[in-house]
Structure 1
């Protein structure tokens, strides 16, 4: 397969077997996009694919919180992370909810009219501020936001910026039409937990998830993503963790930063740190310097996932401990 994929060559979804095929089947019915490249790019690692899909499904797609509200949060995260692909994707999905003005306002970098949407968008851009939702909504809102902090980094690292062929997403009518084609699927109510049987890893559930399916999926993704640390020396893995732990969770890492390891001297640490703190700055040369035999697509996906999830954990650590009380 070519097109969206920059550094990997995933097998065509039609040739998938086992749990990968099962994920694609759920994607088609629950997400409405059978060959969503945001998930196909992870197919070289079934543990990463299943956990990422489960976290997105259980937080963004299923549950009781308004899908429109969660799409606003996801768009805010994507804007903060400069993930052009994902900003367009959430613009299209907001069109699918039926709120076309909101979709174009957010997609164009504007401010929503409704105070609730303004607050959610601002929180998506900076999760360290007070949470503008009731405590009971935390698993879905926080799960959605952290899911896309991970997905944005994978997408910016491994996919092109164009969501649609030929850059067609730049046209409003195309974005609107794409959203309308997904409207029926987006407006369906999905049973929570249906993706959990696909998981190939498990891990500790975070307190904010309150024992929900979102927490199970998040724990599984944490375990799967940290497998990528094994591709680095102990020294380099510790360096990446320490650099991300000392980061404010917002500021991008400049390419001339003294923190950034050299491409020749420590290519793996450089790639993982960029995935965490500035994935849109990963270059062909960065990938080529590290990806030499015996490293494969499977290895590259795991290294990027390790860096990406280190960032997720740093952002999670910045979460305030209070939310709006239920009215």
Structure 2
């Protein structure tokens, strides 16, 4: 865990960062980031007593670093971030930053329900090494989360963030989409560089690409199940949970799309749809972690209230991988 001294230093750094704001923006030059590429959203390993297992985290990271990923996403939905304390979230990012290859990009989930808390978390994530902040839509008061609320929320965060901001729409978890008109407005902010869209609606992805042309704004598919279609519509990459277990295959699909080998890309995409659905919508993180155990990584338990798979679910999960030739 982060020591009290380190935590106090982060809080002090946060206060100093906020005090340096000029005209509502953090002073100093921000670095533009090209986010094109494939990213596995790292899982958070836990011990049998539900403590974060930092050793297993680093072991998984070293194995995943052998694939041609653009970088890693830490503390996204796959990382069980709602179940971690603020200190754990920062410690996980710090450990990954120290262990990962220096030429890889580190995108870090910093979203919280309130704008103020998200600003504070984003600043703290930047201090422990994040290259960009992935900010999920707040959703608890979803009935009031309209375009105006989202534009205000993300503009404030981007104004104050010392690192680039990536919008994150994941309706399967939040029960709401970030409206396209809000995305288009936010794409004009100089410190908002893209969106990870996990909804699976490729026509929406195409519309976002179309309506943000001319802006320095990039779209990432939020799942391997619609990666090929997203590339065809103009996306530049993907954050794919499946890449935690089939990293070589997801990167191969990227290469086939980028080189225009669409027939081969289609064949590979077809073989990835069922296993991808299994480790996302069907069995979720428990399914992904079980598959990691099968394929040479450490999956281990989830943190409660997530539970392990039943025997019948485990059998169905294995079938989705064996039927497509991956186990």
> Normalised by the size of structure 2, how large is the TM-score?
0.29
Structure with more relative contact order (C-alpha pairs < 8 Å, separation 6 or more): 1
Higher helix proportion, which one?
Answer: 1
> Normalised by the size of structure 1, how large is the TM-score?
0.29
